[in-house]
Structure 1
Amino acid sequence: MYKFLKNLSCLLCLLAVFGSCRKKAFDEYYGRPANLAPPIYQVLDSRGNFTTLLKLVDLAGYKDILGSAGYWTFFAPNDAAFQKYFAANNTSLAAINQATARKIVTYCLVINAFGTDHIADYQSPAGWVPSLAFKRRTSYYDGFSTGSGPEGDSTLLVTENRNGGGYLFGDNNNKYIPYFFSTFMAQEHLTATDYNYFFPTGTYTGFNVANASVVNKDIVAENGVIHEIDQVIMPLPNIEQKLASGSQYSLFKSILEKYLVTYTKDANYTRQYSTINNGKVKNAYVKIYDPLLTFAPGNENFQKLEDNDGQKDGYTLFAPTNDVLQPYLTNVILKYYGTLDKLPINIIEDLVNVHMFPTMVWPSKFASTTNNAGEPARFDATTNVVDKQFCSNGLFYGVNKVQQGNVFSTVYARAYLDPNYSIMTKLITAASAKILLSSPGLRFTVFMMPDATLRAMGYDYDQANSYFTQTTNGVLTTGLTPLANLTRLLNMCIVSTPNNELNNLSGDGITETNGGEYLRWHNNTVFNAGLTEQKTALTVTGFDDYSNGRVYYLGGNSLFPFPTLTIFNDIAANGTNPTDPYYDFYQYLLNSSVVSGTTPKEIIGISLGAPYTVLVPTQAAMKQAVIDGYLPGTTTGTGAATQFVSFNYKPTSTADISKVATFILYHILTSTIVPDGKKGPNGNPFPTMVKNDRGDAYTVSVFNQPGNLKFSDAFGRMANVTAPNNSSFFPATSNYLGTYCVLHQIDNYLRYNLQ
């Protein structure tokens, strides 16, 4: 037994020796290194100038968190910072309660550790993106609040933490703290002026946190990094909170919250509130903003397209003061609707959205930063901004001017803001013309299309089914046909006028519309091809000017009817009688091989809806064509002494029949050209209807200046367009409007060369 005990004792000693050796090796490899810095709390304590901050850490209940494991960045205000804070706010350490202590501590406590090697870098899913970040998510969040809602002014509320009308339970909507590091400022071309615009009492040093300067950076601790700052920073308000704090913005806020906010009762938040309030039962509601708004003003998370995208961007709101917003509403937005309650919700959305920018609009970048409508911030940072706040989720500017949104200041606004043009407004959107008409860099003339007039013409819009309708002879049509017809009509009412060409309709003129068809005006009346057929015109009764053009109002209960005649019949309308200006040309056409035998007749090769210009030589020019052998007819004499005797409108020989066909088709261009100086100003070639064996079109050269239109043939011979007859519709000379075509009389015939 003794021997056994002796052996056992030796074995235990050996195990103790070997065990001690293994533990020592384990501790040396895995144990806490002797040179490892203490946790944040202990580091602050050891430095001696954070005594006030540490007392607030204790009061806030964060000693264990900062004194043990973790991974934090702490923007730590020193004792001198607190002395300035107490003096500025007439308070003391003893007066600070636990809630205030929590605000101070947690708002300066950033999730994850960031030294200056990465403080300005954006944490993208793909890795660090240098010099792109200026904010970090903090440990502070507002949580529940009370305010106006479904249960009165004491409704328990949670602000949505996502844009687009949504929220995610469990996301506390943590606030971000802004900082301004030199590499970020350089990357974004920002200067101390941008910083001091919001923090006028601060001194830009190249590393600032809100209004504070970092006086000692990169203090390493076991559980993070400390940056010592010289100011106490309270949680910044978000844009929603800043807007609510100023009574001078109450009108803008009331519009936002009355028409663009809804409240959703949420069981999860209701249960959470009960849990943290010792079982107290109270319904909790999520405050949801209209999903079509640019952003939710209380959302701290930015877009959340990437988890950390709030590090590199934020929102901007320009909030107009009551004294400028009210007259703008009265004189512009509500001019035809009268009250906000009658205003369509999309107009209210647009009104608010033009003041919302989906990015940071820095003071030096008003002109180069745009909202979702592509419009710059139309304010002067010096004279128009009466209040500014760097917020936890972006920038807030109180302004003494309303943002002049394009949809409210351009020709588009005339229909958009008047219920009497609701069909026209729907049509502009359906025809993809909204962006065009609301572009401030373009200029237009628009002939207005009242609902009453459109309905008198048989058109309407079915709100319940969201489509246009057309009633003809008691038959209702829906689908694509009404939309196509209305789109054509709309395009005839829109004219691009970069030089205000239609600002004076007292004289005579012709212009191409947005749809490629033409209008003419004469002594403050206007007409298209359809009205030309009816031998009537519409009287202009008034106009209004907008930032990008003019709108005209037309008398009568009509607009521009579609023409029904073929090009053949347009020529016939001016060539049936021997005294008509197109008579000889029409007689050759009537009996030629290029006219179809169907009813109604049309020139063979004409494509429905395609543009054409018909050039009709004068009788003298037609006689010369006979003399020169380009048209069949009777002459006397030879050579230079050849004289015209008569036309042969009905040739029988194959050669003469071909000659007539070629002559006619060479005088028809496959494009509409009028004397407005726009198409072919410098002898540009335009194709005719004559083609060679390969299908290539023979051309005529066009020399087009305003009021002076000329054509040159294959031999360089010039033909001038004669002056139009503006005193009556029939018989016509030049600028005669036909179905997708225009007819001109010319003082020379065009000689083709088919070689």
Structure 2
Amino acid sequence: MVTACSKKTWDEFYNVPDNLSKPIYAELQAKGTFTQLLSVIDKAGYKNTLSSAGYWTFFAPNDSAFKAYFAANNTSVEKMDSSKARALIQFMLVYNAFNKNTIDDYQSSTGWVPDQAFRRRTAYYTGFYDDTMQNGTVVKTIQSNRNTGYITGDNNNKYIPCFTDIYFGGKGLTAADYNYFYPNTSYAGFNIAEAKVINQDLNAQNGVIHEIDRVLTPLPSIEEYLRSKPEYSEFRKLFDKYMVSFVLNSEATNRYKLLTGDSKQVYVKVYNTSLAFSPNSENFLKLQDNDAQQSSWTMFVPKNEVLLDYEKNVLLEYYQSFDNTPTSIILDFLNAHMWQTPVWPSQFKAAINFVGEEARFDPRADIIDRRILSNGMFYGTSKVQDANVFSTVYSRAYLDPKFSIMIRLLNTDLRYIITNPKAKFTLFMMPDAVLRAAGYNYDVNSNLFTYTSGSTTVSGESVRQTLLRILNSSVVSENLTSLAGAGITETYNGEFIKWNNMQVMSAGTQDASVAVNVDSTRTTKNGTVYYLNGLLTYSSWLFGKHIMNLGGTSVASDFYYFSQFLNNSGLYNATTGEITGTTSGTLYTVFVPSNAAIKKAVMDGVLPGNVTTGVPNLTASTWTAAEKDRVANFILYHILAKYSLIPNGKESGSFETLLKNGLGEVIPVTVISQPGSMLVNDVTGRAANVVVPQSNNLSNRTIIHLIDNYLKYSK
């Protein structure tokens, strides 16, 4: 009697109460509408798992869903093998229990973040499979599970997409985004891939069940989808041939042998780490364990005929095949089609790819295939992503091996500037042959630029800086569509070049009396490229020497009187060309008063000479101390510091000169620039016009103008 009583009490205390939820398997049995699913669970060998302790989310297709699935695939439970059944169950089985309110929460390492997730890790993974190495050998392979390689113990589980109204609202998405991928399913505010959740939050002892109206099969990864689609084989070939390594892995080999008894060696398929992502990795960046819940990859893939045409006319214009191109070209092309973020169809223009560019596709006109896959979004396209490095002025050097030295220079200084498609540029090309003829080269062994003169070769930073200055003088921040006629323009480093009927002149070529001719031109998305037969070198002379050269030896030159005052002023070093008060590397503008203007200054008592005739006294030995000061101040007041200005209408305002007052304050002038004319006003209100036909003289970081009046200062 006591024993019987004790057993009853024991059972009442420890037995599961009748009103407590049963395990997932039993709950499905009790519903009576999941008979086909239960049969598939049995065949998959998952009855025990779903009847035991655990913490799962199970997306459960009802009998109607299986009826449709069997009819569409001409199959049945009886025809289905255990591996197929297991794949179905594992893919619809998600780790951890999530109801509708929590299934879109991101499980961050610092805590749950509400409404930021749209993907969940499933129990399904691909495992070992056969793949083909570059030499044609078929090997047993396992996918990389990181962007940079493989971590033992991570099965690279696939993810299933989950779409909720709260997540969509927070991301600015609508039903149109969902139906773009799933046109045959209505968006209900709680969808799992192409299925609708028709009965949510069915609690079970070991998790949560969500009843869905479709059977969901394992989604392929981006790599697996590419491998199954011959229409994208040319794009996939770029990965397989140039971006993939098969790395022998002893731990994976041992595991394979343990599971199968087969002693085949197993290789990990690893992608180049410079790619935006590994298309076979299911784990997103893995900066946190669950970061794949809230983000995924995206890849846009052009169909074969489109890609082959682009390769022929753009990427391989100067190469026989990709075997000969720099790897960077292939990387840039592929990365331009890869995003480290989900790209929704309504947000193409806002989504930035791995090379910093938006998706340049029309979701209605340019997309021929769209998929949400296990590790990201996939768009098949009827055009290529028009990447900046292949369509701007930069491309003409990047894609042509005859400009290998120039492209190295551009990559260290100007690449991200001149690849901006919204800005306009003119690029004057620097061929390897011309650079080498001038003594310049690049040593790939030392990774240094070199300069050879005679039997002496130097290398290092000084050579690089010399070449960069030449390069910067070959880039103009506007699009010069024609070099017919004559003109002058500012280059990227603030110096100037001139042209006259397809001949281009820099200060250096002017010094050397060298004519640099335009051989041909190309038009790009953001400007014009001119192919030259020489270099736009800079002048090694300081601008004082150029003033002296302009002055000549007689009044036949309108620069003569000013040059002579400079020569005798004590400011000028005839050996070096340096003018006291100037600094190497600084930009300058010199306003040289004409001979007539100098004579007016003499008559006004500003400069020494005959006040009646205006003939200047150029003999310094006869000047008084006061006259010497006036000459020096006069010269300094006609030199602008920190700016090189031409009459192009771009820069006007107050500019400092080299002259300072007794308090050390700069005495300025005011410049009013217009296209084709320039007016200079001094502090006393006097005005001088730039005599354009005799102005725009090039010098070392300096421009020299002739003006029709002198500038008067007040100290």
TM bucket, shorter chain: over 0.9
Deviation of residue 41 (structure 1)? 0.8
**Does residue 720 of the first structure (1) align with residue 689 of the second (2)?**
yes
Matched-pair contact (CA < 8 Å) for 1:634–1:648: no
Quote the residue 1:470 is aligned against. 451
**Does residue 736 of the first structure (1) align with residue 708 of the second (2)?**
no
Matched-pair contact (CA < 8 Å) for 1:734–1:743: yes
Q: Measured at CA, do residues 280 and 51 of structure 1 come closer, stay the same or move farther in structure 2, by a change above 3 Å?
A: same
**Does residue 553 of the first structure (1) align with residue 536 of the second (2)?**
no
Quote the residue 1:40 is aligned against. 24
RMSD (Å) for aligned C-alpha atoms: 1.9
**CA–CA separation in structure 2 for the residues paired with 1:715 and 1:693:** 17
Matched-pair contact (CA < 8 Å) for 2:589–2:702: yes
**CA–CA separation in structure 2 for the residues paired with 1:382 and 1:447:** 39
Amino acid at match of 2:205: E
**CA–CA separation in structure 1 for the residues paired with 2:183 and 2:379:** 15
For residues 82-108 of structure 1, what are the alpha-carbon distances to aligned partners after superposition, in whole Å with 9 as ceiling and x for unaligned?
011111112222111101110111100
**Does residue 412 of the first structure (1) align with residue 381 of the second (2)?**
no
Deviation of residue 150 (structure 1)? 6.7
**CA–CA separation in structure 2 for the residues paired with 1:460 and 1:334:** 25
Deviation of residue 341 (structure 1)? 1.1
**Does residue 195 of the first structure (1) align with residue 178 of the second (2)?**
yes
Query: Residue 704 of structure 2 aligns to a residue in which SS?
Result: strand
Paired positions, count: 711
Quote the residue 1:689 is aligned against. 658
Of the candidates 437, 445, 458, which is equivalent to residue 418 of structure 2? 437
Quote the residue 1:6 is aligned against. none
Query: Residue 545 of structure 1 aligns to a residue in which SS?
Result: strand
Matched-pair contact (CA < 8 Å) for 2:418–2:425: yes
Of the candidates 334, 338, 342, which is equivalent to residue 320 of structure 2? 338
**CA–CA separation in structure 1 for the residues paired with 2:532 and 2:49:** 76
Q: Measured at CA, do residues 133 and 409 of structure 1 come closer, stay the same or move farther in structure 2, by a change above 3 Å?
A: same
Quote the residue 1:10 is aligned against. none
**Does residue 311 of the first structure (1) align with residue 303 of the second (2)?**
no
Amino acid at match of 1:552: Y
Amino acid at match of 2:671: V
Matched-pair contact (CA < 8 Å) for 1:572–1:586: yes
Deviation of residue 31 (structure 1)? 7.2
Query: Residue 323 of structure 2 aligns to a residue in which SS?
Result: helix
**CA–CA separation in structure 1 for the residues paired with 2:263 and 2:637:** 89
Deviation of residue 206 (structure 1)? 0.3
**Does residue 644 of the first structure (1) align with residue 614 of the second (2)?**
yes
Deviation of residue 266 (structure 1)? 0.7
**CA–CA separation in structure 2 for the residues paired with 1:26 and 1:753:** 111
**Does residue 179 of the first structure (1) align with residue 162 of the second (2)?**
yes
Q: Measured at CA, do residues 26 and 692 of structure 1 come closer, stay the same or move farther in structure 2, by a change above 3 Å?
A: farther
**CA–CA separation in structure 2 for the residues paired with 1:70 and 1:694:** 85
Deviation of residue 34 (structure 1)? 5.2
Deviation of residue 536 (structure 1)? 3.5
For residues 674-707 of structure 1, what are the alpha-carbon distances to aligned partners after superposition, in whole Å with 9 as ceiling and x for unaligned?
1122221xxx100000012343211000101111
Query: Residue 661 of structure 1 aligns to a residue in which SS?
Result: helix
Quote the residue 1:289 is aligned against. 271
Amino acid at match of 1:678: K
Matched-pair contact (CA < 8 Å) for 1:632–1:649: no
Q: Measured at CA, do residues 340 and 645 of structure 1 come closer, stay the same or move farther in structure 2, by a change above 3 Å?
A: closer
Deviation of residue 648 (structure 1)? 4.8
Quote the residue 1:535 is aligned against. 513
Amino acid at match of 1:465: S
Matched-pair contact (CA < 8 Å) for 2:505–2:516: yes
Query: Unaligned stretches of 5+ in structure 2?
Result: none
Of the candidates 447, 453, 458, which is equivalent to residue 428 of structure 2? 447
Deviation of residue 577 (structure 1)? 1.5
Quote the residue 1:728 is aligned against. none
**Does residue 489 of the first structure (1) align with residue 466 of the second (2)?**
no
**CA–CA separation in structure 2 for the residues paired with 1:694 and 1:112:** 77
Quote the residue 1:170 is aligned against. 153
Q: TM-score, normalised by structure 1?
A: 0.92
**Does residue 55 of the first structure (1) align with residue 39 of the second (2)?**
yes
Deviation of residue 372 (structure 1)? 1.3
For residues 167-206 of structure 1, what are the alpha-carbon distances to aligned partners after superposition, in whole Å with 9 as ceiling and x for unaligned?
1111000000001100001111111111111111111100
**Does residue 514 of the first structure (1) align with residue 514 of the second (2)?**
no
Amino acid at match of 1:744: H
Quote the residue 1:677 is aligned against. 649
Query: Residue 672 of structure 2 aligns to a residue in which SS?
Result: strand
Quote the residue 1:4 is aligned against. none
Quote the residue 2:201 is aligned against. 218
Stretch of structure 1 that moved more, 648-657 or 513-522: 648-657
For residues 404-434 of structure 1, what are the alpha-carbon distances to aligned partners after superposition, in whole Å with 9 as ceiling and x for unaligned?
111111111111111111111111112x211
Deviation of residue 118 (structure 1)? 0.7
Quote the residue 1:242 is aligned against. 225
Query: Unaligned stretches of 5+ in structure 1?
Result: 1-12, 637-642, 725-732
Query: Residue 551 of structure 2 aligns to a residue in which SS?
Result: coil
**CA–CA separation in structure 2 for the residues paired with 1:669 and 1:284:** 72
Amino acid at match of 2:630: K
For residues 57-113 of structure 1, what are the alpha-carbon distances to aligned partners after superposition, in whole Å with 9 as ceiling and x for unaligned?
111111111101000000011111101111111222211110111011110000000
**Does residue 569 of the first structure (1) align with residue 551 of the second (2)?**
no
Matched-pair contact (CA < 8 Å) for 1:57–1:63: yes
Of the candidates 364, 376, 382, which is equivalent to residue 394 of structure 1? 376
**Does residue 132 of the first structure (1) align with residue 109 of the second (2)?**
no
Deviation of residue 601 (structure 1)? 3.9
Stretch of structure 1 that moved more, 513-522 or 692-701: 692-701
For residues 17-60 of structure 1, what are the alpha-carbon distances to aligned partners after superposition, in whole Å with 9 as ceiling and x for unaligned?
9x969x969985x8755532111111111111111111111111
**CA–CA separation in structure 2 for the residues paired with 1:108 and 1:74:** 6
For residues 543-600 of structure 1, what are the alpha-carbon distances to aligned partners after superposition, in whole Å with 9 as ceiling and x for unaligned?
0011011110113xx312331222221111011311122111111111113224x622
**CA–CA separation in structure 1 for the residues paired with 2:131 and 2:603:** 95
For residues 369-403 of structure 1, what are the alpha-carbon distances to aligned partners after superposition, in whole Å with 9 as ceiling and x for unaligned?
11011111111111111112110111111111111
**Does residue 68 of the first structure (1) align with residue 52 of the second (2)?**
yes
**CA–CA separation in structure 2 for the residues paired with 1:361 and 1:93:** 37
**CA–CA separation in structure 1 for the residues paired with 2:300 and 2:58:** 32
Matched-pair contact (CA < 8 Å) for 1:525–1:539: yes
Matched-pair contact (CA < 8 Å) for 1:146–1:153: no
Amino acid at match of 1:450: P
List aligned pairs for 1:529-678, cutoff 5 A.
529-555=507-533, 558-578=534-554, 579-596=556-573, 599-636=575-612, 644-650=614-620, 651-670=622-641, 671-678=643-650
Deviation of residue 281 (structure 1)? 1.0
Quote the residue 2:709 is aligned against. 748
For residues 136-181 of structure 1, what are the alpha-carbon distances to aligned partners after superposition, in whole Å with 9 as ceiling and x for unaligned?
00000110111212784531111101003x1111100000000110
Matched-pair contact (CA < 8 Å) for 2:541–2:577: no
Matched-pair contact (CA < 8 Å) for 2:604–2:611: no
Matched-pair contact (CA < 8 Å) for 2:550–2:559: yes
**CA–CA separation in structure 2 for the residues paired with 1:594 and 1:31:** 107
Identity percentage of aligned residues: 46
Matched-pair contact (CA < 8 Å) for 2:688–2:707: yes
Stretch of structure 1 that moved more, 230-239 or 563-572: 563-572
For residues 227-280 of structure 1, what are the alpha-carbon distances to aligned partners after superposition, in whole Å with 9 as ceiling and x for unaligned?
000100000111001111111111111111011111001111111111111x22
Q: Measured at CA, do residues 276 and 152 of structure 1 come closer, stay the same or move farther in structure 2, by a change above 3 Å?
A: farther
Matched-pair contact (CA < 8 Å) for 2:602–2:615: no
Query: Residue 662 of structure 2 aligns to a residue in which SS?
Result: coil
Stretch of structure 1 that moved more, 439-448 or 686-695: 686-695
**Does residue 361 of the first structure (1) align with residue 343 of the second (2)?**
yes
Amino acid at match of 1:686: F
Q: Measured at CA, do residues 361 and 227 of structure 1 come closer, stay the same or move farther in structure 2, by a change above 3 Å?
A: same
Amino acid at match of 1:721: V
